[in-house]
Amino acid sequence: MIDFLRQFFSDPRFQSGYDGIWQRISEHCWYSLIAFLCAAAIGLPLALLTGHIGRGDGPIAALAAVGRAMPSLGLIVLLAVKIGVFNFNAALIPLVALAVPPILLTTHEGLRAVERSVVDAARGMGMRPLQVLFRVEIPSALPLILSGLRTAAVQVVATTTIAAVISFGGLGRYVVDGLSQYQYYQVVGGGFLVVLLSVATLILFSVITRLAVSPGLRRNR
């Protein structure tokens, strides 16, 4: 496999230009970022609302189960055939659909798991509902909220690879093109870069968690 990687990184075709590594990486990051932000913009406010008022346990659990069962490849292909293989929405919508359930579920459960006595104390101190949400509930639930965001981000980065099955770029291009051209080194190179990118996402989120979460909440293992 090392040999394949060496061959991939020394191929001038991938050094620069349209099929260059940096071009593909930036496409990949760009697609993932858009999908992730859309998912967060949908999932977070909704889950903050349901978690704060403490309703909707059942529907959110059901939505998460359906979301887990939904195959992204199927959705991408379906949308590609329906609205056209060059329509970016065909790649975006499945990625958003993939990322919303984990964000929704963990944020909701995070808020629900905040100790009731703490919320009561905050209310007793005269905080208004929004103050309770932003100054007590969200900070206490932050580790879980961030873990949901992390799961979603990593899954989006990993699944953006599939956007290449229809007409889009990103690192999946190497995998799909390599498979159809029988150039195994290209496939391995693309796969390797995606792994690097998802591990980088994982590290990014662990750094954010370290910085954002209050030290008092850090789990003592």
Contact between 37 and other proteins per CB under 8 A? no
Any contact of residue 75 with other proteins (CB under 8 A)? Answer: yes
Q: Exactly one of 82, 126, 130, 216 binds other proteins (CB under 8 A); which one? A: 82
Helix (H, G, I), strand (E, B) or coil at 71: coil
Which SS3 state, helix, strand or coil, does residue 118 take? helix
* Residues 67, 62, 34, 150, CA torsion sign: negative
Q: Is 91 in the site for other proteins (CB under 8 A)?
A: no
Residue selected from 33, 42, 49, 202 as contacting other proteins according to rule CB under 8 A: 202
Examine residue 60 and tell whether it contacts other proteins (CB under 8 A): no
Query: In angstroms, what is the minimal distance from the CB of 37 to other proteins?
Result: 19
Binding other proteins (rule: CB under 8 A), the pick from 17, 45, 54, 71 is: 71
Question: Residue 205: which residues within 8 A CB-CB, separation 6 or more?
Answer: 146, 149, 150, 153, 154
User: 215: part of which helix (H) or strand (E)?
Assistant: none
CA-based Rg of the chain, rounded to a whole angstrom?
Answer: 21
Q: Which of 106, 140, 183, 198 binds other proteins (CB under 8 A)?
A: 198
Which H, E and C letters describe 14-29, residue by residue? HCCCCCCHHHHHHHHH
Helix ranges restricted to H, the chain = 2-10, 21-53, 57-69, 72-83, 89-112, 116-124, 129-132, 138-159, 172-180, 184-212
- Selected from 74, 83, 89, 218, the binder of other proteins by CB under 8 A is 74
- Residues 151-190 interacting with other proteins (rule: CB under 8 A): 154, 157-159, 161-162, 165-166, 172, 175-176, 179, 184, 187-188, 190
Number of residues that bind other proteins (CB under 8 A): 43
Neighbours of 197 (CB within 10 A): 21
**Is the CB of 133 or the CB of 194 nearer to other proteins?**
194
Interacting residues with other proteins (CB under 8 A) = 1, 4, 61, 65-66, 68-75, 77-78, 80-82, 154, 157-159, 161-162, 165-166, 172, 175-176, 179, 184, 187-188, 190-192, 194-195, 198-199, 201-202, 221
